[in-house]
C-alpha cells in the first residue's frame, strides 16, 4: 500500500494554530506511515513543529498560504476572495491527488462551498452531506446525517443520504446490512412533513437498502438504527442539542462534586467512574464529521475543537483515505440506482 | 380565590390507568384545595381511587366515557369517531368552563387536533404550540417551543411563538424581560433557511420583545436565552434527542457501575452524587408540555410518563390555571400587535 498523505488546514477553527499544530504534531508522531501537508502561515507552522525529530520532519511538507478564511466570513467571499487561503489549499491538494484527504476546523459554510466547487459531487449525488458517528446505548455507534451541509433537502437528497450513510456504516463500522432510518416526529406513517413522507416512499421502493422506517430523536441513541437520515437543519440541531445536554451533564457533575467537603470527597473516590462516564458522552471523541458525496475526502473538525478533538478528526481522515471511501460510495449509489431501473 | 378544577384523561398514555390513576391519587392527596374531574372508564376509576379517604373523594368527580383515543389513531379519526372519548371529554370540560385546565398523556396528534377544534386559538394566534421548560447550566430554565404541534411553521407563526414563550417565561418563571432567541444552525446572519431569516426580521421589528437573535442547539442548555423558538419538527427532534442523550448518560452510569466489584463499590459510595446528577437531567421532572395559544389550558404529558412524571404534568396544569395563562397571552399578543401598527 502506498503512503497516505493528509493535508491539514492549520489556520482554521476558533483557536487556530495554537491548538491545531499540537494536534498535527501528535498525529505526525503517532503515525509514522503517513505523510502530512501542513497549509498555513509558514513561520507559524515552523515554530509550532519544533518538537518534531528530523525523521518526523521528513514526512512533513509545509505549504505557505497568505490568506485565512475567517470564521464568520460568507462562503461566497471565501470562494471569490480567498484564493490563497489554507482552507482552499487543502481541498485543492485533494482535488489534484497530492493529498488523500484533508482536515479543517474552519468556517463550515466556506468549507462546504469550496469543497463542492472544487471537488464536485459523485455522479448520482446532488449534494454532499456532513455525517458523524454518535454513541448509543447498544453495541454499535450510529451515523447521523446531514449535520448541516444543506438546510433544505428534497426527498431525493434524503434518499441519497441514506445510501451514503449505509456505505459508511458498512465500511467504517463494519456492519453488514446497516439499518437505515428517517428521523421524524413520530413513528406512525401519518406523522411528519411532506418531504419526509416522500423520502419514506423512495426508501421503501429501493432495493439493497435495509430501510427500517421512521425513528424519533431519542432513538438516535438507542441502537435502533445504524444510520439516521435527516435534513441539515434538523440534523445540526439534533447534534448540537444533544452535545449541549452532554455538556450540561459534565457541568452538573462538576457543580455537584464541588458542593461541599463531603461531595468533593465522594467525587474523588468515584473519579474513575465519573471519568469513564464523562468519556462515554464527551463530544470531543466523536469529532471529525465527514463531508461525503464528494470526489474526495474532506473532514470537518469542530470549530472549537481542542488538541485531542482535532487529533480525532485527523484519525478519521486517515481511516477514510485507507478505505477509499468516495469510490465505495460511488459503487453503492450506482448499484442502487441501476437496481431501481 | 375560587376552587380550581383540573380534568384528567385517565385512559391516555402508553400505560393508561395503572400509571395515571396512582398519579391522580397523589395529586388529590397533596392538593386539598383542588377539585379533580377524572374522565374514563368508571369502574376502572372507582377501583383505582380506593386509596382515597371520604373527604378526598368529595373533591373528585368521575365522568364515565365509553371510548378511548388509541395511541396510533389518526387525529381525524379521533375527531370524527370518538365523541365519547376521555380525551375529548377533558377538553370539552375546559371549553365549557367546568374545568380550569386538563391533562392527557394520550396521542399528541389527536390531543392537538381536538384542542384546536374545540377550544380554538386566541385572537392573533394562528396555531397553538407545545412548550416546555428544560434545564440549563445557568440559574434559569429555558422554555423551548414548538415541540411538535406544527411541523410546518410560517415566519409569522414563529413570531407568535416567541411572544407566547415570552409570556410563559415571565409568568411561570418570573423573568422580567425574557431573552427570546430563534434556533438556527449558526449564529451569523447569513445562516439558516428562508423561514428562519424572515422570522428574525419580524422579531427585530417588534417592540416589547427582548429578542437576542439566533442560538444554536447547544445554546438551548447554556442559559443564553430564556425562550428558544423553532418549528415543531426541529423542536421535537431537539427535545427528544437531548432526552435520548440524557437516557444514554443514565444508562452509562448503570453500565459502568456494574462493571466489576470495584466499580459497584464506587457507585455505592458515590450514590448521593450520582443520584443528584441523575435528577438534574432526568426528563421526567420536566414532564408536562403546555399546549399554548388556545382559549383554555391543555397539558400534554409524555405518552410513556410514569406516575411521578404524570404528577408533574398535573402540577403544571394547576400552576397555569392559577395564573390564568391564556388571558395573559391574549393581553401580550394584543399589546405587541397594537404596538406594531
Identify the pLDDT of residue A252.
79
Question: Looking at chain A, which residue has its C-alpha nearest residue B147?
Answer: A185
Tally of structural domains, chain B? 2
Distance from CA of B193 to the nearest CA of A (A): 6
Would B142 be classed as within a structural domain?
yes
Q: Which among A253, A266, A281 is the nearest to B252, CB-wise?
A: A281
Cβ of B242 and A237 within 8 Å? no
Would B17 be classed as within a structural domain?
yes
Q: Cis before residue B242, ω within 30 degrees of 0?
A: no
B182 and B238 within one domain: yes
Q: What is the mean pLDDT of residues A240-258?
A: 83
Integer angstrom CA distances of residue A292 from A161, A297, B197, B314: 9, 7, 27, 47
B178 and B109 within one domain: no
CA-nearest of A99, A98, A227 to A170 is: A227
Can you state the angle between helices A261-269 and B261-269, rounded to 10 degrees?
A: 170
Q: Domain range spanning residue B297? A: 1-125+293-324
B146 and B118 within one domain: no
Share of chain A above pLDDT 70, in %: 96
Beta carbons within 8 Å of A165's beta carbon, 6+ residues apart = A129, A131, A143, A145, A178, A180, A227, A228, A229
Burial class (CB in 10 A: 0-12, 13-18, 19+), B251: middle
- Give the three-class secondary structure for B5: strand
The chain-wide mean pLDDT, for chain A, equals: 91
Integer angstrom CA distances of residue B22 from A81, B28, B73, B184, B306: 66, 10, 25, 41, 10
pLDDT tens-digit map of A256-278: 778 888 778 877 777 777 777 77
A190 touching B (Cβ < 8 Å):
yes
Cβ of B137 and A248 within 8 Å? yes
Would B335 be classed as within a structural domain?
no
Q: Which among A185, A245, A281 is the nearest to B233, CB-wise?
A: A185
CA-nearest of B69, B63, B33 to B46 is: B63
Identify the pLDDT of residue A273.
73
Identify the pLDDT of residue A1.
44
Would A288 be classed as within a structural domain?
no
Cβ of A244 and B222 within 8 Å? yes
Q: Which among B74, B219, B236 is the nearest to A190, CB-wise?
A: B74
A177 and A90 within one domain: no
CATH assignment at residue A84? 3.40.718.10
Cβ of A281 and B248 within 8 Å? yes
DSSP structure class, residue A340: H
A236 and A299 within one domain: no
B114 and B71 within one domain: yes
Identify the pLDDT of residue A112.
93
B257 touching A (Cβ < 8 Å):
yes
A18 touching B (Cβ < 8 Å):
no
Would B334 be classed as within a structural domain?
no
Would B35 be classed as within a structural domain?
yes
A187 and A68 within one domain: no
Question: Is the Cα torsion angle A9, A10, A12, A13 positive or negative in sign?
Answer: positive
What's the rounded Cα separation, in Å, for the pair A339 and A336?
5
Q: Is B291 left (phi over 0), alpha (psi -120 to 50) or beta?
A: beta
A102 and A131 within one domain: no
Q: Which among A72, A273, A280 is the nearest to B266, CB-wise?
A: A273
B273 and B148 within one domain: yes
What's the rounded Cα separation, in Å, for the pair A51 and B295?
69
Report residues of chain B scoring pLDDT below 70.
Answer: 1-2, 187-190, 280-285, 340-341
Distance from CA of A55 to the nearest CA of B (A): 42
Would A333 be classed as within a structural domain?
no
Residue A2 has pLDDT above 70, yes or no: no
Residue A116 has pLDDT above 50, yes or no: yes
Q: What is the mean pLDDT of residues A74-85?
A: 95
Phi, psi of B56, rounded to the nearest 5 degrees:
-65, -40
Q: Which helix (H) or strand (E) holds B180?
A: strand B179-183
A245 touching B (Cβ < 8 Å):
yes
pLDDT tens-digit map of A12-33: 999 999 999 999 999 999 999 9
Cβ of A236 and B185 within 8 Å? yes
B138 and B94 within one domain: no
Q: Confidence band (pLDDT; 50, 70, 90) for A283?
A: low
CA-nearest of A94, A121, A208 to A162 is: A208
Would A105 be classed as within a structural domain?
yes
Residues of chain B in contact with residue A267, where contact means CB-CB under 8 angstroms, are: 270, 273
A116 and A16 within one domain: yes
B143 and B70 within one domain: no
Q: DSSP of B114-154, one letter per residue?
A: HHHHHH-BPTT-SS-EEEEEE--SSSS-EEEE-SSS-SS--
**Better-scored residue on pLDDT, B208 or A155:** A155
pLDDT tens-digit map of A297-314: 999 998 888 999 999 999
- Written as nine digits, the cell of B3 is 376552587
A304 touching B (Cβ < 8 Å):
no
Q: Which of residues 142-171 of A touch B (CB under 8 A)?
A: 148, 151-152
Q: Which of residues 261-280 of B touch A (CB under 8 A)?
A: 263, 266-267, 269-270, 272-274, 276-277, 280
Distance from CA of B92 to the nearest CA of A (A): 25
Question: Looking at chain B, which residue has its C-alpha nearest residue A280?
Answer: B252
Cβ of B221 and A248 within 8 Å? yes
Q: What is the mean pLDDT of residues A38-54?
A: 97
Amino acid at each position: 500500500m502506498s503512503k497516505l498523505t493528509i493535508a491539514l488546514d492549520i489556520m482554521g477553527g476558533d483557536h487556530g494554530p495554537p491548538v491545531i499544530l499540537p494536534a498535527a504534531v501528535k498525529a505526525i508522531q503517532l503515525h509514522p506511515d503517513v505523510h502530512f501537508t501542513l497549509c498555513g502561515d509558514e513561520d507559524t507552522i515552523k515554530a509550532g513543529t519544533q518538537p518534531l525529530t528530523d525523521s518526523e520532519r521528513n514526512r512533513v511538507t509545509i505549504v505557505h498560504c497568505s490568506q485565512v478564511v475567517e470564521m464568520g466570513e460568507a462562503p461566497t467571499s471565501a470562494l471569490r476572495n480567498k484564493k490563497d487561503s489554507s482552507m482552499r489549499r487543502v481541498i485543492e491538494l485533494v482535488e489534484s491527488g497530492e493529498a488523500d484527504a484533508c482536515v479543517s476546523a474552519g468556517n463550515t459554510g466556506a468549507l462546504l462551498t469550496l469543497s463542492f466547487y472544487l471537488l464536485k459531487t459523485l455522479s448520482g449525488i446532488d449534494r454532499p452531506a456532513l455525517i458523524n458517528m454518535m454513541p448509543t446505548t447498544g453495541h454499535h455507534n450510529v451515523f447521523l446525517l446531514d449535520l448541516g451541509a444543506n438546510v433544505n433537502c428534497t426527498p431525493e437528497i434524503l434518499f441519497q443520504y441514506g445510501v451514503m450513510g449505509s456505505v459508511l456504516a458498512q465500511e467504517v463500522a463494519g456492519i453488514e446490512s446497516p439499518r437505515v432510518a428517517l428521523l421524524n416526529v413520530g413513528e406512525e406513517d401519518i406523522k411528519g412533513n411532506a418531504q419526509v413522507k416522500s423520502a419514506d416512499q423512495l426508501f421503501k421502493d429501493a432495493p439493497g437498502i435495509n430501510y427500517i422506517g421512521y425513528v424519533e430523536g431519542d432513538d438516535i441513541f438507542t441502537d435502533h438504527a445504524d444510520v439516521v437520515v435527516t435534513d441539515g437543519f434538523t440534523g445540526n440541531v439534533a447534534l448540537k442539542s444533544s452535545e449541549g445536554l452532554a455538556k450540561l451533564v459534565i457541568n452538573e457533575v462538576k457543580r455537584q462534586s464541588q458542593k461541599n467537603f463531603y461531595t468533593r470527597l465522594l467525587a474523588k473516590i468515584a473519579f474513575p467512574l465519573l471519568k469513564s462516564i464523562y468519556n462515554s458522552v464527551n463530544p470531543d471523541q466523536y469529532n471529525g464529521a465527514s463531508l461525503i458525496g464528494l470526489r474526495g475526502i474532506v473532514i470537518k473538525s469542530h470549530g472549537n475543537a481542542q488538541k485531542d478533538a482535532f487529533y480525532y478528526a485527523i484519525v478519521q481522515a486517515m481511516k477514510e483515505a485507507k478505505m477509499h471511501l468516495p469510490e465505495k460510495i460511488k459503487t453503492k449509489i450506482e448499484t442502487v440506482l441501476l437496481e431501481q431501473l
